[in-house]
Structure 1
Amino acid sequence: MNEQKLWTRNFLSISISSFFLFLTFYYLLVTLPIYAIHDLNGVPAQAGLIVTIFLVAAIVIRPFAGKWIERHGKRKVLLSSLLIFLIGSLLYSSINSMNGLFALRFLHGIGFGMATTAAGAIVADIIPESRRGEGMGYYAMSMNLAMVIGPFLGLTAMDQWGTGIMFSICIFTAVFSLVSGLLMTLPKDAADGSKVVPAAGRTGIKGLFEASAISIALVAGLFALVYASILSFVSVYAREIGLMQAASYFFVVYAVVMLMARPFTGKWFDRYGANVIIYPAILIFAAGMVLLSLAGTSVSFLIAAGLIGLGWGTLFPSFQTIAIQSAEPKKRGLATATFLSIFDIGIGAGSFIVGVLTAKISFSTLYFASSFFILGCLAVYYLLHGRKEAALHAAAMVETEKQSA
């Protein structure tokens, strides 16, 4: 039997579009706080709000974006959101006050939240069912690569070429994201949502969320609390322990290990089920956090990065795949919105909690304690999804044996 094709023009287009979307996000994530303090005379607390306001806008808009996808279609919502994102990128160089920057970040967050929701729904439709785990893994890889390249490019542009060139690059990356989105030619049933009728009784607040995705989204949100401590504070921790030079390579090693593992983990997910991938990935993630907490040399610090890349880099696309598979095809946009909204709440809450805790305990202690929190999340995964997944996989194996008999 021939394997269904994964690397189609549409899959490449949406992956490249998402890469440039997230590249712009991470590019501005590291540069705007510095710009706000040095060029707009802001204070550190205001610089922190730059990220918070953006994420709040994305979280608020995603449930509505899921409904708009049902009503107007995935492609229309994606292109509209990428246009909003591009307009926001064009306006940064004209902002001359902190209040203006806050307003612009809210607009930019709206475009980002809509785009990530629509892109997730589109990629779920164009990936062959038999290669869902593999395809979602490769799609997530585009976001992980952006996480590595974006900060490096942003800081280089700010240090070497100044804010004018920095914002110009931001505009070009947003343009590339929109152009890649325009290159997609989705089938009518995947692109047009006009014939999709919302389920009866799904009005008001309940109609903005997909119930089938909530349990796995809650699991992902809990893990996001720990991931936020890596994303936001690992460079601060590296400075504390005298490994600042190694810090610039942390996410490079993270990405390399993740890239090497992706071809295997996605296929194993499809062939053997989620549990075979997720339980080992949780243990590897916990081991990475333990080693990070004990790191005293660049070698141990970067080995920890590799373990975290293998563990968390496998968990995130696996959780997102489960959220999408749990929903009806016409509800995948809403499921994606639900999953990403809860996940982003975890990231935002984690950054705040870590900021509070590190005023009382060291980063080393925090990262060590996080490994036990991860192990506790393993139990939560089992209760909310793992045991059900095991039963479904066993039933599928029995059915396969009956058909082959």
Structure 2
Amino acid sequence: MIDNHKLWTKDFVKVCLSSFFLFLSFYIMATALSGYVTDGLGRSESQAGLAMTVFIIAAVLLRPFTGQLMDKFGERKIVFVSLLLFFLFSVAYLGVYSFGMLLLVRFLHGGSFAIGTTSTNTTAISIMPENRKGEGISYFSLFMSLAMVIGPFVGLTITKHGGYNSLFMLCAVFALIAFALGASAKSKSSAKAQESSKAQSELSQNTHTRTKTKLQWSNLFERKVLPIAVSGFVVAFAYSGLVTFMSVFAADRAIDDYASYFFVCFGIMIVLPRPIVGKLLDRVSEHYIVYPSIAVFAIGLFMLSAAHSPLMLLVSGAVIGLGYGALLPCFQTIAVLAAPPHRRGLATATFFILFDLGYGIGSFCLGLIATHYGYTAMYLICGTIVALSSVVYFILHHKRRQSAVTAGNLEQAI
């Protein structure tokens, strides 16, 4: 008999590991790609940035359609196809011989990444027990965080000692592992679909014929997720300055030998409190986690702006990791639970569309600020933006939820 309260099932472990290798391949590539464009293809730094922007544009454009694709073809088929394409486009880097060809591969790679991450996320959520969603999402996002910490180390090491072809081959291997694990994982929804496929097709034919024939806003975005997604956009805007400019900032302060260890401290403080945060999400109001996390994240960025010594750099990394590591899974949980179960894939896509936009726009805008005013000012602004995200969160989510609870209509709170 299936234990409906068990979180760590075989399929949940598979999809967590699939997500880990998917993001590991992404972060390895993201770390080393600028060097490949400038050194391998002889292009400028602005063109290296364009290669990253094209990837994000594809992700933003295609994420909205992931929910529709999963509704039409099923979660498992979309996971299979998207991860297979992600693997094939990872292999395609080995055949790139021009910058134009690289941009094409990056666009296709970004699209498959967007659909793959959204569909695996949706599969993981469907596998989690209903009463352990907060804990489950917290653990699932932990695998993404681990990839974010490990990826830059692996990418820089491989390019230094093995070259770019070795890096592309390694990314392809990790993409293949992600495909093998993700394609073999079964969600609860896919298992139920096998038993009731006839009934479901008849029901959907009667109730959704009109919506399937027309491309509607409601089929691309989950409106109930937009308040928390806008909060995520603001946080991602500030977070982009951390990932994009850390190595340059550390070199500017003559502490670049410790830049990689910054991410070690950052990663450790993401990992350590995650089990506690996950359990708290299922037991207390999200507000008790969000506001302290925003405060800690902002303080860490203010500390980073003043870091002139290795110790200060590493301590700020730990503080930032603690705040950001608690905040992101909390936002994801709010987004998922805001939507009805059959629209949770769309909810996930909506949240990450705005998160991707925040990251992409933030990288460009903060780069301009750093160029004109320096990195101290840039990280001070990042900390201020994170602090102001508490106001955005209060107005768009907390206040609306509080008003709806007072009015006795909890459904409108989200």
For Structure 1 versus Structure 2, the TM-score category normalised by the shorter chain is over 0.9
Describe how 1:3-402 pairs up with structure 2 within 5 A.
4-189=5-190, 192=193, 195=201, 198=208, 203-206=214-217, 207-390=219-402
Deviating 4+ runs (over 4 angstroms): 188-203, 389-396
- Give the equivalent residue in structure 2 for 1:403: none
Cα deviation, residue 33, structure 1: 1.5
Q: Partner letter of residue 332 of structure 1?
A: R
Alignment CA distance shift 1:191-1:247 (3 Å): farther
Cα deviation, residue 349, structure 1: 0.3
Q: Deviations over 1:36-87 (max 9, x none)?
A: 2112122211111111001111110111111101111111111100011011
Q: Deviations over 1:117-149 (max 9, x none)?
A: 101211111111211111111111111111111
Percent same amino acid at aligned positions? 36
Alignment CA distance shift 1:201-1:81 (3 Å): closer
Secondary structure of the 1:246 match is helix
Secondary structure of the 2:97 match is coil
Cα deviation, residue 394, structure 1: 8.6
Q: Distance in 2 between matches of 1:113 and 1:299?
A: 37
Cα deviation, residue 286, structure 1: 0.9
* Partners of 1:258 and 1:313 within 8 A in 2: yes
* Partners of 2:127 and 2:188 within 8 A in 1: no
Q: Where in structure 1 are there 5+ consecutive unaligned residues? A: 397-405
Q: Partner letter of residue 75 of structure 2?
A: K
Q: Distance in 1 between matches of 2:210 and 2:320?
A: 43
Q: Distance in 1 between matches of 2:294 and 2:209?
A: 35
* Partners of 1:74 and 1:190 within 8 A in 2: no
TM-score normalised over the length of structure 2: 0.91
* Partners of 2:258 and 2:310 within 8 A in 1: yes
TM-score normalised over the length of structure 1: 0.93
Cα deviation, residue 393, structure 1: 7.7
Alignment CA distance shift 1:188-1:290 (3 Å): closer
Q: Deviations over 1:85-109 (max 9, x none)?
A: 0110111111100000000001101
* Partners of 1:275 and 1:390 within 8 A in 2: no
Secondary structure of the 2:41 match is coil
Aligned residue-pair number = 396
* Partners of 1:274 and 1:389 within 8 A in 2: no
Q: Distance in 2 between matches of 1:346 and 1:328?
A: 25
Q: Partner letter of residue 126 of structure 2?
A: D
Secondary structure of the 1:248 match is helix
Alignment CA distance shift 1:36-1:341 (3 Å): same
Q: Deviations over 1:147-178 (max 9, x none)?
A: 11111111111111122222211111011000
Cα deviation, residue 183, structure 1: 2.4
Q: Distance in 2 between matches of 1:79 and 1:155?
A: 30
Please identify, of 144-153 and 159-168, the stretch whose mean Cα deviation from structure 2 is larger: 159-168
Alignment CA distance shift 1:161-1:342 (3 Å): same
Cα deviation, residue 191, structure 1: 7.5
Cα deviation, residue 372, structure 1: 2.2
* Partners of 1:221 and 1:344 within 8 A in 2: yes
Q: Partner letter of residue 92 of structure 1?
A: Y
Q: Distance in 2 between matches of 1:356 and 1:205?
A: 37
* Partners of 1:24 and 1:170 within 8 A in 2: yes
Cα deviation, residue 204, structure 1: 2.5
Secondary structure of the 1:249 match is helix
Cα deviation, residue 258, structure 1: 1.1
Q: Deviations over 1:328-368 (max 9, x none)?
A: 11101111111111110000000000111112111112212
Alignment CA distance shift 1:198-1:320 (3 Å): farther
Cα deviation, residue 190, structure 1: 6.2
Alignment CA distance shift 1:125-1:229 (3 Å): same
Please identify, of 161-170 and 114-123, the stretch whose mean Cα deviation from structure 2 is larger: 161-170
Alignment CA distance shift 1:395-1:254 (3 Å): farther
Q: Partner letter of residue 45 of structure 2?
A: P
Alignment CA distance shift 1:131-1:239 (3 Å): same
Q: Distance in 2 between matches of 1:191 and 1:5?
A: 18
Alignment CA distance shift 1:221-1:86 (3 Å): same
Cα deviation, residue 255, structure 1: 0.9
Secondary structure of the 1:96 match is coil
Q: Distance in 2 between matches of 1:190 and 1:61?
A: 27
Secondary structure of the 2:342 match is helix
